[in-house]
């Protein structure tokens, strides 16, 4: 494809060189740039791609998309634009032939519930007979083929490449998590969304967005990119999203004012039943994930699939079958106490899971959790306070400390839990913290391992180590059982 065709639609500020040059691929990492590549220079937060132009030139690249003045050989072509992040999304979309226009694309945004909702929608659409692609935190999937992922929403080029592969493998619909980072950094620009979903909004990611208003405004961008929007009106920010949306809007909630409502809700220790009332149908459903938050996630999935024309019988069937790794996941340990893994890593999500577990716990609720390093520090004492108030015993430990001192993070959490008078201890090593919880478990206790969920690693200052809590629990129990024999 010729460079002049790739940059159509961009506000080009300046051109140097031959626009008829043939482009064989696109790279935003200079190590992957080669002869025939268009190297898009992204100005990152830590690394500026413009500084790696010499490496790309050495590799044979002679076409560059930039947002700064640069020096290149006389035989190179340079196209300068205002924002290369958006430009990368645009040229990638064109290069791969606008793949998101060739299937039904659904985007889920919100602080909590994105992952679970995408899995619910995928399960329903598969029950309906569709082949479904999924893009999200746990994994990317094409039907039942699982592809690894390292971020909630891929970079725009990688996303469009993935979409292209999904088209080639005859996917009917794609459901994806859309993070606030992705919206702000143009990772999903040029995507053609049929439906956008707003699950909720609470404090998170302020290390990146700086203010809550910025965080909210990033989420709202999705509803200027989709044809139809489904918005949780019960969330305090839902009305603002509705007012700001530039698409056809439907609302959901546990409220008479919503278009899609859950009524007659019955909670069970391992599931929740309710009746859904909608413009399309009324019927009873069961979700095998407990808690009020599961009702909202299910409403989002039900509304999305109804807007896609899925009959109620398939919605009901899909919801009954869905499972989500690391979300209220009960481990099969064959003990007289329960171990549950959940991804809760924000104040609201920790409060939700603890409230749900507390309502049905026949014994104590023991909460093992920590907070990630290099992230919003203000939520640490808040989460300490929540665990101190709701759990019977808390073990504060490490999560992904990254470049921070784990003990310093723990001290931040302690500030909150001390205000409650709740019982707690601190054990920095996460494996030892889990071992302590298992060694001291009493019959009918529920031990909640919060924060890691589906993750199978811990990010340290200088490396990332393997850490799957399912494996850790099994290994510790094997040690304890052999020690008792």
Instruction: Give the residue ranges of the annotated binding site for ATP.
Output: 110-116
Q: Are 118 and 221 in contact (CB under 8 A)?
A: no
* Strand pairing report for 446-450 and 424-426: unpaired
Residues within the annotated binding site for meso-2,6-diaminopimelate?
Answer: 375, 399-402, 451, 455
Q: Which of 274, 271, 232 is nearest to 249 (CA)?
A: 232
Q: Are 116 and 175 in contact (CB under 8 A)?
A: no
Could you tell me the strand order of the sheet in which 446-450 lies?
A: 329-330, 338-342, 446-450, 365-369, 393-396, 424-426
Please state, in angstroms and rounded to a whole number, the distance separating the CA atoms of residues 392 and 53. Answer: 57
B/e letters for 323-336, b = 16+ CB within 10 Å, e = fewer, are ebbbbbbebebeee
Output the six-digit token pair for 332: 């099969």
Q: Are 67 and 82 in contact (CB under 8 A)?
A: yes
Q: Which contiguous run of DSSP H or E holds residue 352? A: helix 347-360
The one-character DSSP state at 128 is T
Please state, in angstroms and rounded to a whole number, the distance separating the CA atoms of residues 262 and 277. Answer: 6
DSSP of 356-424: HHHHH-SS-EEEEE---TTS-TTHHHHHHHHHHHH-SEEEE--S--TTS-HHHHHHHHHHHHTTTT--E
Output the six-digit token pair for 187: 């990772």
3-state secondary structure 94-126: HHCCCHHHHCEEEEEECCCCHHHHHHHHHHHHH
The one-character DSSP state at 84 is H
Reduced to 3 states (helix: H, G, I; strand: E, B; else coil), residue 300 is helix
Distance of CA 200 to the CA centre of its chain: 13
Output the six-digit token pair for 70: 């640069």
B/e letters for 95-133, b = 16+ CB within 10 Å, e = fewer, are bbebbbebbbbbbbbbbbbbbbbbbbbbbbbbbbebbbb
- List of E strands, 128-171: 132-135, 140-142, 145-147
Please state, in angstroms and rounded to a whole number, the distance separating the CA atoms of residues 429 and 470. Answer: 16
Residues within the annotated binding site?
Answer: 30, 110-116, 152-153, 179, 187, 375, 399-402, 451, 455
* CA atoms 164, 165, 171, 177: torsion sign: negative
The one-character DSSP state at 195 is E
């Amino acid at each position: 494809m010729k460079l002049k065709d790739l940059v159509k639609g961009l506000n080009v500020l300046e051109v140097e060189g031959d626009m008829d040059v043939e482009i064989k691929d696109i790279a935003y990492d200079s190590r992957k740039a080669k002869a025939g590549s268009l190297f898009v220079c992204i100005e990152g937060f830590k690394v500026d791609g413009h500084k790696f132009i010499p490496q790309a030139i050495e590799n044979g690249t002679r076409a560059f998309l930039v947002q700064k003045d640069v020096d290149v050989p006389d035989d190179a072509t340079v196209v300068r634009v205002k924002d290369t992040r958006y430009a990368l999304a645009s040229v990638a979309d064109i290069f791969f032939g606008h793949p998101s226009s060739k299937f039904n694309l659904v985007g889920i945004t919100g602080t909590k519930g994105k992952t679970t909702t995408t899995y619910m929608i995928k399960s329903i659409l598969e029950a309906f007979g569709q082949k479904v692609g999924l893009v999200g935190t746990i994994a990317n999937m094409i039907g039942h083929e699982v592809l690894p992922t390292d971020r909630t929403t891929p970079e725009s080029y990688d996303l469009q490449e993935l979409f292209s592969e999904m088209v080639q493998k005859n996917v009917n619909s794609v459901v994806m998590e859309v993070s606030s980072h992705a919206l702000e950094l143009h990772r999903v620009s040029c995507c053609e969304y049929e439906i956008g979903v707003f699950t909720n909004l609470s404090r998170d990611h302020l290390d990146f967005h700086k203010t809550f208003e910025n965080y909210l405004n990033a989420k709202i961008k999705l509803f200027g990119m989709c044809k139809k929007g489904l918005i949780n009106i019960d969330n305090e920010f839902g009305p603002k999203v509705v007012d700001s949306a530039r698409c056809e809007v439907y609302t959901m909630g546990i409220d008479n004012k919503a278009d899609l409502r859950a009524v007659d809700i019955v909670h069970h220790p391992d599931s929740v039943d309710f009746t859904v009332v909608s413009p399309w149908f009324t019927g009873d459903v069961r979700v095998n994930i407990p808690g009020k938050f599961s009702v909202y996630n299910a409403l989002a999935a039900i509304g999305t699939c109804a807007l896609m024309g899925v009959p109620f019988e398939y919605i009901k069937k899909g919801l009954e079958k869905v499972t989500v790794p690391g979300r209220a996941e009960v481990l099969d340990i064959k003990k007289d106490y329960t171990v549950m893994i959940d991804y809760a890593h924000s104040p609201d999500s920790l409060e939700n899971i603890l409230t749900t577990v507390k309502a049905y716990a026949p014994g104590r609720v023991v909460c093992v959790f920590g907070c990630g390093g290099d992230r919003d520090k203000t939520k640490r004492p808040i989460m300490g306070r929540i665990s101190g108030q709701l759990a019977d015993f808390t073990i504060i430990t490490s999560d992904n400390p990254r470049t921070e001192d784990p003990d310093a993070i723990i001290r931040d959490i302690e500030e909150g839990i001390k205000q409650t008078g709740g019982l707690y201890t601190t054990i920095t090593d996460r494996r030892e913290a889990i071992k302590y919880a298992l060694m001291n478990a009493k019959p009918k206790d529920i031990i909640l391992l919060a924060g890691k969920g589906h993750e199978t690693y811990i990010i340290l200052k200088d490396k990332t180590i393997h850490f799957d809590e399912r494996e850790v629990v099994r290994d510790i129990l094997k040690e304890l059982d052999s020690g008792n024999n």
